[in-house]
Every structure is written in structure tokens, then in C-alpha cells.
A and B are shown apart, each in its own frame.
Chain A
């Protein structure tokens, strides 16, 4: 199918600003699904609230646009009810780790078969540029006019320690390898997390004088390095990208099928 066959034209134009990285992520999500030859009717997309969450409406899957932070909780209900469906959960950094932080760590702990795609632009875009748990110390935001004193999360570390069985990080600059990572994440049986560094030139870029969208993407090229590379040892400031964890662990819905068998055997 062509890319446009996955898009609901009725929804266009989209709400994203010029230069926003979310379109790259949406494009690559479509390509990953296309490459995997998945049927549209087998895919459910569940999202919360925020710029990133709007992806669900734009794509011709079963799409559930829910409440701020709660996408994974809704997705858990859908997955438990229909384990055969593939569930993609596009989220923003605030959506996933601030208001939805509890659902995020518990979905990871359960290792329920959902694919969380976290678009980390380090800011609340839809509400106009407030700091998020990923903004980091010293950064500027409309709610941190004097500099942010909040420490930032490391989403990959958080996901790994909470128990996610697939954890990866990539950026909008690394669009080609992003497709492969998304394919692996979608096919992984268990809770998979893909953190995608994505530019918000309108708010995070402008507030922090990071230049244009192109400048911000170039910074993803120079500021990141493949996981386990020598470069990281020389420059600890570099952010690692690639797949951090990919393990087979008991998946929640499969485990629950065993509970049903047990329950039906007991009287």
C-alpha cells in the first residue's frame, strides 16, 4: 500500500507546527507497519493527550484518543480483552512520564504486550511550552522563566528498571534506523518502549536558542552515538541510541491465559 492509504485525509491538515518532528515519527510508524505487512484491522492505536497523541486520529487503524497520561491504562484494557490485536501507543514525554508515569512503570512491570512510542521533545507543546520531566536542569520554559531546577528522567533507564523487555532510543535524524527499531518493537512480545528524540522548534528550540528544526536535528546527529560505542567513553555527554534491551520474558496476557486454564480446572 502507499503511505497515503494509511492516512485519514479527512483529518488533514494536521495540527503540527512547521519543523515538528512528530511527522517523521508518524511516517516511519507507517513504513514499519507496511514493511511488516500487518493488516490495518489488526492494529489498535491508543493515545493520550498532547501533540504526539494526535497521531492516532490521522491513521487508518482502530484509534482511541483518550485522556492525558492514561493511554497505557486504556490500552491495557483493550489488550486484555483482545490479545490478538497489536497495540501501538504514541505518547509525549509529559504524557508518558509525568501525568502517566505510574501507568508507564506498571505497564513495564507487567510486561504487557504493548508498543509505547515516546516522542521526547522535552516540553509541553500543546499548552504552549511548559517544562516537562525531560526538559532538564537549566533549561528554559514558560513555567521556568528563571531556569528549570527539575532533574530530568532518563526514559530508557526508567523503562529498563521498571521491567520493560524491549527498550530502544533513536532520533528523528536517524529516520532510516528508526524504521527497523519500530519494526522490532512492534513484533516484540512484551512491553516495548521506543524513545524518539524529536524536535519542538516552536517552544523548546526557541526558548533555549537551539536554532531551526534543521539545527536541532543536526544536534541529534552530533550529540548521540550508537549504544556501546567507543565515542561514549571519550565523551560521556553523548546520548546513546539503539536497542538497550531485547529479552524474552513472560508476557502478561499469555500468563493470564494460564490463569484462566488454572481457574477452569479448579472447582
Chain B
């Protein structure tokens, strides 16, 4: 770590981290509460020779970053709920065509226009299932600026490793809040660069032929190999196919390359879990309030712990099951009506011990909100 300390909004931290990770291209459309990301990059990207474009709409922004990424540039867009909805078809295209890219969603209250300037974590399931059809997706989140930095860099690394779109789910609280960031030095965090094919010019090249390990060495679009990219089910040449074995093989490749590597993709933090009788499970900004409660209760000798999820998708079910097996009860803390709650219930052996503390009115969940639910669970009344 360098001595360089910055005091920034979360959105600005995301920008610093994206540039650190090697961002070359950004396309976006103004939307609260993510707009600062576009504003900052409109100056910072051309300063390093990168490209910024404000497109005519959210859909176009998503399409443009896919086009740019295909030529070899690390690419990103940023949006919030309504824009995230609009991008979904193109996110599916990036999944199908295995084009790495990063989509930042600084969540606000929804559905529809909802509460544009208020925090929410209502897009967790949309991140998972927003685009149509069976697929897998990687989604990360963070609760403080140091982690916003780390997870943003991680998003680029995972996108390149697995050639897939990666979604960063932040929220209004994290995006707009200012706190310290200890700026990492170059090379403090390893960066994953794109895997290029070693096939020489003139030799038959199969753009969609994965290696044994599932990784896909491709050639940059516009380079020495000409190939076809399509959102249709395609064979190893990238040619459309409706053969059942081709469809079966591609679907499994796209899903397995992520679902079979959950342990490699999972990032989480734990606080006082070993002897915890009650474990709070939280993520993103809500995990700040959860940690506040856990730390203050620990100071009073109560056996509370926190499992903070940073990878939301693929859901780290095994971590949840194993790390929480000994707890008497689990309390999921989130800013929605129980989207991760359901995943936790599916993951554990006894779902009846899982409870929810949430907030959906546009205000941020407070330690008092969480304590009130804890008292109810403990039979102490509110």
C-alpha cells in the first residue's frame, strides 16, 4: 500500500479502481446515483488515451462496451435500477458471446423510477436473473471504500478470467458516501489480462473452443483471425447451430465455467464467527450497520458474529452452510424484501432458524432497526 490516502465518494473509488485495473473504454448514460462515475471518467479516460462516450441510451451504452471489449479493450458501464433493466438483453449477449465487461449498478429504490436518491439493494435478483434464459453470472458487492476498490479490480479480473460480464452491485449509500481510501500502489493487486490465442495467422482458428480448464483464448476482433460472433447458439467456429448436441454443450460450458468454480470466485469476510450463537449475514452498505451491531454487542460479551458476503453470484452456499452451521439462528440484513434471505434459507440445513432484518422505505437501515429484530428473535420484545 502506498502512503497516498484519498478521501472520496464511493463512485470515485470505483473509478480509481477501474483505471487501476486497466479500464480503456467506458460508455454510459446519466442516471442517479451513478452519474459521478461517468463524469469522472469523461476526463480521466482520455487523459490516459482511453475512450469515453455518452451514448443515446442505456441499451446503447451496454452494446458499445461489448463492441469495444471484443477488440481487446477492458470496458465498463455504470447505471442504476432503471438503466440496469434496459441493459439486460445485451448483458445476456455478452454472456452468450463470452465477451468480458463490467457493469456497475449503483442501486436505488425501485421498482420503476422508485426512489432515485435513496439507497436500496433491490436488484440482487435482477443481477442474477435479469436477462432471459438459463445462464450464470458473477456479481460482487462491497461495504466500504477499500473493498469497493478491491472488488472493482476483482470484477475486471474475473471478467477476463472467465470471459463473462461481471456485475458490481453498489448502492446509493456507498456510491455517495465519502471516506478514506488507501490507494494501492501499482502491482499491489495482481491484474488478469486477456487470454489470447497462440494460433498463428492462416491457421484454422476456433474462437469458441475452450481449453481444458474452461478458459477461452480468443483473438481480438479486427486482428489476425476473422471469425463470427453471434448471440445465437453457436459451434466452435462461432457459426449458428441448432444441433441439440451443440446447444447442450454450449449451455453447459457457459454455466459450468462459473458454477464449477464457485470456490474460486467466492469472496467474503467474517467477523467473530467461531463462537457466535447468532450470525448476521449481510453485504454492501447494510453490512456496515450489521457490523456496528456485532461490534457493540461483542463489547458487552454477547456472542454475535457477521458473515459479510462480497460475492453474491454465484451464491456461496457452501460457505454459508459451513460457517454458520453452529449458530442458533441467522439474521440476514439487507435493503430489500428478502432476496438473499431466500438463498440463505436454501443453503442451510434448517431454514426455520433464518430471520430477516430489512429496510425498504428509502432510508438506510440503522443499528437500532437490527437490534429491534434481534430482541424479537431472542424473545425480549421490542
Direct contact between A and B in the complex (CB less than 8 angstroms)? yes
State A67–B66 Cα separation when bound (angstroms): 12
Q: List B residues 33-64 near A (Cβ within 8 Å).
A: 43, 46-47, 49, 51, 53, 55-57, 59-61, 63-64
Which of A67, A75, A106, A262 contacts B89, CB < 8 Å? Answer: A67
List chain B residues, Cβ under 8 A from A263. Answer: 43, 46-47
Please give the residue numbers on chain B whose beta carbons come within 8 Å of chain A beta carbons, in ascending order.
24-25, 27, 43, 46-47, 49, 51, 53, 55-57, 59-61, 63-73, 75, 89-90, 93, 221-224, 226-232, 237, 239-240
Do B90 and A70 touch across chains, with their CB atoms under 8 A apart?
Answer: yes
List chain B residues, Cβ under 8 A from A8. Answer: 228, 239
Q: Smallest CB-CB separation from B55: which chain A residue?
A: A73
List chain B residues, Cβ under 8 A from A262. Answer: 46
List chain B residues, Cβ under 8 A from A56. Answer: 228
Which of A63, A76, A82 contacts B53, CB < 8 Å? Answer: A76
Do A63 and B71 touch across chains, with their CB atoms under 8 A apart?
Answer: no
Do A67 and B93 touch across chains, with their CB atoms under 8 A apart?
Answer: yes
Q: A73-B63, A77-B25 are in contact. Are A106 and B56 (CB under 8 A)?
A: yes
Do A57 and B63 touch across chains, with their CB atoms under 8 A apart?
Answer: no
Q: Smallest CB-CB separation from A54: which chain B residue?
A: B240
Interface membership of chain A positions 251-267, coded 1 if the CB is closer than 8 angstroms to chain B and 0 otherwise:
00000100110111011
From residue A97, how far is it (CB to closest CB) to chain B in Å? 15
Interface membership of chain A positions 96-127, coded 1 if the CB is closer than 8 angstroms to chain B and 0 otherwise:
00000011001000000000000000000000
A148 within 8 A of B: no
Pairs of residues from A and B, 8 with the lowest C-beta to C-beta distance, nearest first? A77-B67, A77-B64, A263-B46, A73-B63, A73-B60, A106-B56, A65-B230, A77-B68
List chain A residues, Cβ under 8 A from B226. Answer: 40-41, 60-63
Do A64 and B56 touch across chains, with their CB atoms under 8 A apart?
Answer: no
Q: List A residues 31-84 near B (Cβ within 8 Å).
A: 40-42, 44, 46, 56-57, 60-67, 70, 73-82
List chain A residues, Cβ under 8 A from B65. Answer: 77
Do B70 and A64 touch across chains, with their CB atoms under 8 A apart?
Answer: yes
Do A10 and B239 touch across chains, with their CB atoms under 8 A apart?
Answer: yes
State A180–B349 Cα separation when bound (angstroms): 71
List chain B residues, Cβ under 8 A from A46. Answer: 67
Q: A73-B64, A78-B221, A106-B56 are in contact. Are A64 and B229 (CB under 8 A)?
A: yes
Which of A40, A44, A259 contacts B221, CB < 8 Å? Answer: A44
Do A62 and B227 touch across chains, with their CB atoms under 8 A apart?
Answer: yes
State A44–B73 Cα separation when bound (angstroms): 16
From residue B48, how far is it (CB to closest CB) to chain A in Å? 8
25 contacts between A and B (CB under 8 A): A57-B228, A57-B230, A57-B240, A60-B226, A63-B229, A64-B229, A66-B93, A67-B89, A67-B90, A73-B61, A73-B63, A74-B63, A74-B64, A76-B60, A77-B75, A78-B70, A80-B64, A81-B67, A103-B56, A256-B46, A256-B51, A260-B46, A260-B49, A263-B47, A264-B47
List chain A residues, Cβ under 8 A from B70. Answer: 64, 77-78
State A256–B228 Cα separation when bound (angstroms): 28
From residue A260, how far is it (CB to closest CB) to chain B in Å? 4
Interface of A is mostly: helix
Do B67 and A102 touch across chains, with their CB atoms under 8 A apart?
Answer: no
Which of B47, B224, B239 contacts A41, CB < 8 Å? Answer: B224
Q: A74-B66, A80-B53, A263-B43 are in contact. Are A65 and B231 (CB under 8 A)?
A: yes
Q: Smallest CB-CB separation from A69: which chain B residue?
A: B59
Q: How many residues of A contact B (CB 8 A)?
A: 41
State A122–B65 Cα separation when bound (angstroms): 31
Q: Smallest CB-CB separation from A60: which chain B residue?
A: B226
List chain A residues, Cβ under 8 A from B53. Answer: 76, 80, 256
Q: Smallest CB-CB separation from B63: which chain A residue?
A: A73
Q: A74-B64, A81-B25, A81-B51 are in contact. Are A102 and B228 (CB under 8 A)?
A: no
State A102–B29 Cα separation when bound (angstroms): 14
List chain B residues, Cβ under 8 A from A260. Answer: 46, 49
Do B46 and A75 touch across chains, with their CB atoms under 8 A apart?
Answer: no
Q: A57-B228, A57-B230, A57-B240 are in contact. Are A66 and B63 (CB under 8 A)?
A: yes
Do B228 and A63 touch across chains, with their CB atoms under 8 A apart?
Answer: yes
Q: Smallest CB-CB separation from A112: which chain B residue?
A: B53
A227 within 8 A of B: no
A245 within 8 A of B: no
State A61–B238 Cα separation when bound (angstroms): 13
Do A78 and B231 touch across chains, with their CB atoms under 8 A apart?
Answer: no
Q: A44-B221, A64-B229, A102-B56 are in contact. Are A77 and B66 (CB under 8 A)?
A: yes
List chain A residues, Cβ under 8 A from B24. Answer: 81
Which of B49, B90, B221, B239 contacts A64, CB < 8 Å? Answer: B221
List chain A residues, Cβ under 8 A from B51. Answer: 80-81, 256
Q: A64-B70, A67-B90, A67-B231 are in contact. Are A76 and B222 (CB under 8 A)?
A: no
List chain B residues, Cβ under 8 A from A65. Answer: 228-232, 240
State A41–B55 Cα separation when bound (angstroms): 27
State A198–B142 Cα separation when bound (angstroms): 54
List chain B residues, Cβ under 8 A from A80. Answer: 25, 51, 53, 64, 68
List chain A residues, Cβ under 8 A from B59. Answer: 70, 73
State A246–B352 Cα separation when bound (angstroms): 71
From residue B223, how far is it (CB to closest CB) to chain A in Å? 8
Given A70-B63, A77-B68, A260-B49, 5 extra CB contacts under 8 A: A41-B222, A67-B231, A73-B55, A76-B53, A263-B46
List chain A residues, Cβ under 8 A from B223. Answer: 41
From residue A70, how far is it (CB to closest CB) to chain B in Å? 5
